[in-house]
Amino acid sequence: MKFISWNVNGLRACMGKGFLNTFADLDADFFCLQETKLQEGQISLELPGYHQFWNYAEKKGYSGTAIFAREAPLSVSLGLGVPELDTEGRLITLEYPDFFLVTCYTPNAQRELARIDHRLAWDAAFREYLCKLDACKPVVVSGDMNVAASEIDLKNPSANRGNAGFSDQERESFARLLSAGFTDTFRYLYPDATGAYSWWSYMYNARKNNAGWRIDYFLVSNRLSGYIQEAAIHADILGSDHCPVALELKR
């Protein structure tokens, strides 16, 4: 099974930068999107052979997630079930006979950690939610989690220590999620890989210089770790300030 996850930073804009060609070329069984920045009816997307699932933010032009799946799920749920955290279209869960697939767009803590309390409340609820799913059947989790887990996951850790995405609070929270029973699939296969980033600022020629961050992930329940065949970062694919990340699992 092949999974793709991509923060497209506005799907309508990404459509003008080759999204459909990328979608076809990657040929995934499941294609997860974050930051679609859409409301219902704002795009007509023809994807023959795929079922489409969308979660929209109440605020126009903001956040939002989607999953395109070849196989119809047993059930679909949107959000965490926490009203104050579910207004921004940040989570979709598809249930299949042998696993759950979750895509999420984790809130950004913002400059000077202005939104850190909201971010940590999300993290706590998200961790609890995933653990409840995991108690039923294994989970595959995709998305922009807005945190670089360790110094190896960004180009300039010293300069960014304490900033959004690399604060002690966010890194400790992400570590608690992994400790709750989940595996970072890329680091499982490539524990020492450097220069492997999935997001680059539009400023200072960051992408050209590969001055990036790895903040887009596939996590799996620990008991799925033996099924991981590949975990890739497609840094050569343009169209967004993020690039797609991939996971391949044995059936």
> Which of the residues are catalytic?
105, 144
Q: What 8-state DSSP symbol labels residue 73?
A: P
- CA distances for 29 relative to 8, 38, 183, 236, angstroms: 18, 23, 21, 21
Sheet with 228-233, side-by-side order of all strands: 51-55, 65-69, 30-34, 2-7, 245-249, 228-233
Q: Are strands 30-34 and 65-69 parallel, antiparallel or unpaired?
A: antiparallel
Is residue 186 classed exposed, middle or buried when 0-12, 13-18 and 19+ CB atoms within 10 A define those classes? buried
End-to-end CA gap in the chain:
6
Angle 44-47-53 from CA coordinates, rounded to 5°: 75
From the list 145, 143, 146, the residue with the least C-alpha distance to 67 is 143
